[in-house]
Amino acid sequence: MNTAHEPYPIGTPGTPWGDKERAEWLSLQTRQRSYETEVLSVIERLRSRFDVEQYGCLDYGTESYPLMAIRSRDWRDDLPVVLITGGVHGYETSGVHGALQFVEQYAAEYAGRVNLLVAPCVSPWAYERIHRWNANAIDPNRSFHENSPAGESAALMQLVEPIRDDVLLHMDLHETTDTDETEFRPALAARDGKPFEPGDIPDGFYLVDDSEYPQPEFQQAIIEAAEQVTHIAPADDKGEIFGSPVASRGVIQYPLKQLGLCASVTNAPYRTTTEVYPDSPRATPEQCNAAQVAAVCAGIGYALANQ
């Protein structure tokens, strides 16, 4: 695995990648788990209780990946919409399985109160390869904008376009992992021909609010719920989490739309990006999934009480 003290093994330092380097990178990516077995089979089980639809298809080489969404069966135009997305970064496992676990265990409790739309695995190619990027070395979570270069992002935007003004809440479920520092950030620097600047991985759960439309009380309601399941990431000695100033306990802020982040795809008044830390010795995979579920339930509860 790459470290901060070694040059990234692909490309020339200071020079952005071209087609040759991207092809070299792609040749090193291997399938490590099954989208069909671990994700599609769970979605299939939900068909008896929810509407399931294919909203797109990704074709990479000889492989095709159907993009699937789950909707409330009792969809009503007079109800607010709750959008839940997971697996925008395919390697962030609890985002995918937390979304599915929420649907399986808790979605029925909101019948008649909200319309649920869940896209649990936005980037299935990356899910199988436990990677951040798609097969073209593009980060889908910087690609939610017009003329998106990422098929994953473009398909999701098309799915939500008819309801983007009806969404009350958007929960985008993510993780921050040790491999962000050892692999993905160094790869990003190499791809873009920039120097890699080492950082610190926060130990614990945190949230990313929208700096343009902050909702601090909403974010704190989620932090309090997640804390019942897992520990909250503390600020470092600079008062930051993952290089960003802490706005409130366990919360940082990004300009979501400016960065092309998934949480900007609707006009929802309530939106957040969860960040679970699966590599902590204090958290199990089950806790990571449960923290995502707790965050979603708390977000819905707050949004409904304050709409």
pLDDT tens digit sequence for 179-205: 999 999 999 999 999 999 998 999 999
Two tokens, residue 238: 């600079």
What is the C-alpha R_g of the chain? Answer: 19
pLDDT tens digit sequence for 216-232: 999 999 999 999 999 99
Give yes or no for residue 6 having a pLDDT over 90: no
| Cβ within 8 Å of residue 46, ≥6 positions away | 52, 70, 100, 103, 104
Angle at 222 between CA 142 and CA 247, to 5 degrees: 65
What's the whole-number mean pLDDT along residues 33-52?
97
| Cβ within 8 Å of residue 31, ≥6 positions away | 128, 129
- State residue 4's pLDDT score: 44
- State residue 278's pLDDT score: 97
- State residue 3's pLDDT score: 41
| Cβ within 8 Å of residue 41, ≥6 positions away | none
**Report field, pTM of the whole predicted structure over 0.75:** yes
What's the whole-number mean pLDDT along residues 43-58?
97
Give yes or no for residue 157 having a pLDDT over 70: yes
Report phi then psi at 256, rounded to 5. -60, -50
- State residue 150's pLDDT score: 98
Three-state DSSP class for residue 80? coil
- State residue 5's pLDDT score: 57
**How much is the mean pLDDT over the chain?**
96
Give yes or no for residue 1 having a pLDDT over 60: no
Two tokens, residue 103: 């649907």
- State residue 41's pLDDT score: 98
Residue 285, CA distances (Å) to 92, 132, 176, 282 in order: 11, 19, 13, 10
Q: With contact defined as beta carbons under 8 Å apart, do 155 and 67 qualify?
A: yes
Q: What is the percent of the chain with per-residue pLDDT over 70, rounded to a whole number? A: 98
**Of residues 147, 143, 101, the one with CA closest to residue 122:** 143
Q: Provide the pairing of β-strand 51-60 with 81-86.
A: unpaired
Two tokens, residue 277: 């830390």
User: DSSP string of 141-180?
Assistant: GG--STT-S-HHHHHHHHHHGGGTTTEEEEEEEEE--HHI
Give yes or no for residue 115 having a pLDDT over 90: yes
Cα distance between residue 201 and residue 45, in whole Å: 36
Q: Provide the pairing of β-strand 81-86 with 115-119.
A: parallel
Please give the DSSP secondary-structure letter assigned to residue 17.
-
pLDDT tens digit sequence for 246-297: 999 999 999 999 999 999 999 999 999 999 999 999 999 999 999 999 999 9
- State residue 63's pLDDT score: 96
